Amino acid sequence: MALDESLGKSDRKKELARLRQARFYEKRKEEVNAKRREKYKEAVSKKFIENEFIEKINIPDKPVFTKGDIKIKDLSKNKTLSYNEIVKYLDELQLNPNTANKYKQDIKRFVQITECDDVIKCLKKSDLIISNIENGKMKNGNPYSNNTMKGLYQTILFIIDRFNLPINKAPYKERFEGAKLQSYEDNEKKVFENPVMKFSNFINKVKEHFGEDSKMYAIVKLYDEVPMRDDFQLKVVDKVKDTSDPNFNYIILYSGKPAKVIINNYKTKEMYGPIKVNLTKDTSKLMRDFAKKNNVGIGGYLFGSDKLSSYVTPNNNKLGVEKGFSTYRHMKISEELDKVKSIPERQRLAGLMGHSPMTQLKYVRNLYD
């Protein structure tokens, strides 16, 4: 591993950090991964799942017909089951639209990989199906990623359970658990090989490069207090009663009090509900000043009604930072968890970011200045 001498000062520093961490990982990867596997198994064995420390996957050992509001479509008497029938029955389960689309996409991919016309018949041949999935190729000739295979196995288990299919799911469950563990270990490697800048340092770089009255600075300062995904399509209002529409996200800006952000519509809203954050005095003033400068009044959108990734990503690149809000997530979580040690504090941060504490750990990277 050699350093590219043509790199600029900032990129050179980042590359040195990456190479140093990569060398450390290569020397100790067996030891590191062994410890991580033990921690993972320990967490599962202690049933931190009940405390939301590990995301719960509903894969019961026996078919479930009722569980709270969960709907089960009993297809145990069906002799055949096509892709189109699965799509129809998924709609009858009245799942969250994003969840339903994810399962539909995975089933479509499953049918393409296995060339199955009858899903029930195919799933009974677990050895053949597993071989097809793990040896399948994408259109570009590359094998499917571990995360793609994990998603396929999760979808298969979901279909078997929610449709009460008379199929032995043990082989698929074993592969799913193996893929989860592989994802965990892959993420541990990224911790060492892909260090990130502290988010507080990134904010300073944005301020220096774009200016304190810039859109970029307003976005990253807001993200520092409301660390969501690309969810800053914020409609400006002046009363709490105007923030109830679940399809919109809001900022209460002109109430005479510190500004308040209400995020109703985001990726994991079904699990965590609306996220409400009172902004600090300084950030409230920054948001009001930005709105006034850009003539954003009541009913307007602070940063526009479109997603911001196409704006943020190229501006990040100007500062030597790749990608968009996903990188902010890595930076923010890595810096915060470097300071925050207690489980309650980690749970509070995870709730603010709209994910579980276990998901939060997947974003952790080593830091560089």
Tell me: do 321 and 250 sit in the same domain: yes
Nearest to 218 by CA among 165, 285, 120: 285
Question: 301 lies in a domain?
Answer: yes
Question: 295 lies in a domain?
Answer: yes
Question: 50 lies in a domain?
Answer: no
Question: 51 lies in a domain?
Answer: no
d(CA 65, CA 283): 50
Tell me: do 237 and 301 sit in the same domain: yes
| Token code pair at residue 113 | 């990989």
Q: Which of 160, 193, 226 is the last residue of a domain?
A: 193
pLDDT of residue 58: 36
Q: Which amino acid is at 131?
A: S
Q: Which amino acid is at 237?
A: V
pLDDT of residue 28: 62
pLDDT of residue 358: 65
Tell me: do 1 and 81 sit in the same domain: no
Map 169-223 to HEC letters. CHHHHHHHHHHHHHHHHHHHHHHHHCCEECHHHHHHHHHHHHCCCCHHHHHHHHH
Tell me: do 306 and 291 sit in the same domain: yes
Tell me: do 280 and 344 sit in the same domain: yes
Question: 52 lies in a domain?
Answer: no
Nearest to 70 by CA among 78, 61, 58, 81: 58
Q: Which of 161, 193, 225 is the last residue of a domain?
A: 193
121 is in which domain, residue-wise?
57-193
Tell me: do 154 and 214 sit in the same domain: no
Tell me: do 79 and 164 sit in the same domain: yes
CB-based contacts of 341: which residues, under 8 Å, 6+ apart?
none
Tell me: do 210 and 172 sit in the same domain: no
Number of domains in the chain: 3
d(CA 368, CA 18): 9
Three-state SS for 316? helix
CATH number at residue 202: 1.10.443.10
Tell me: do 177 and 78 sit in the same domain: yes
**pLDDT digits (tens), the chain, 369 positions:** 454 555 555 566 656 666 666 665 566 666 655 655 555 444 444 333 333 332 333 333 333 344 445 678 888 899 999 999 999 988 888 787 778 888 999 999 999 999 988 999 999 999 999 999 999 998 888 999 988 999 999 999 999 999 999 999 999 999 998 888 787 777 666 655 667 889 999 999 999 999 999 999 999 999 999 988 899 999 999 999 999 999 999 999 987 789 999 999 988 887 788 999 999 999 999 999 999 999 999 999 999 999 999 999 999 999 999 889 989 988 888 888 777 667 787 777 777 777 776 676 676 666 666
Question: 332 lies in a domain?
Answer: yes
CB-based contacts of 318: which residues, under 8 Å, 6+ apart?
209
Q: Which of 129, 158, 193 is the last residue of a domain?
A: 193
Tell me: do 35 and 176 sit in the same domain: no
Question: 324 lies in a domain?
Answer: yes
Tell me: do 231 and 261 sit in the same domain: yes
Torsions phi, psi for 196 (to 5 deg): -125, 160
Count of CA atoms in the C-beta half-sphere (13 A) of 40: 20
Q: Is residue 348 a contact partner of residue 175, using CB atoms and an 8 Å limit? A: no
Question: 80 lies in a domain?
Answer: yes
pLDDT of residue 44: 41
Tell me: do 305 and 161 sit in the same domain: no
pLDDT of residue 10: 58
pLDDT of residue 341: 65
Three-state SS for 333? helix
